[in-house]
Amino acid sequence: MAKSAAAGVDVAVVEKHLARYAVSCPLCKAVDQLGVGQQPCELASTDGAKDSIPVIVVVCTRCGYLMPLAADRIAPAEEKAA
């Protein structure tokens, strides 16, 4: 069974994407040092609204910098087609 960091998001797909492209850490500029956090997260609204955005946390294994990635941008292809 595939690991899932957020509902409907396959961690292996995100890891494959990070490995395929030369994604570098914006803080320490390390390349090929990014991993996917396993804890489901959400970005809460700051204007008092009761909504939030589910995110995947990408972490630099070199310096520890955390980068949120919107989970709805990496939905499986079957969900996007529907």
In the chain, where are the structural domains located?
Answer: 11-81
Query: 0.75 exceeded by the pTM?
Result: no
Report whether pLDDT(3) > 80.
no
What Cα–Cα distance (Å) separates residue 80 from each residue in 15, 33, 48?
A: 20, 29, 29
User: Cβ neighbours of residue 82 under 8 Å, at least 6 residues apart?
Assistant: none
Structure tokens at 58: 């990408």
pLDDT tens column, 26-73: 999 998 888 888 777 888 888 877 788 888 888 999 999 998 887 776
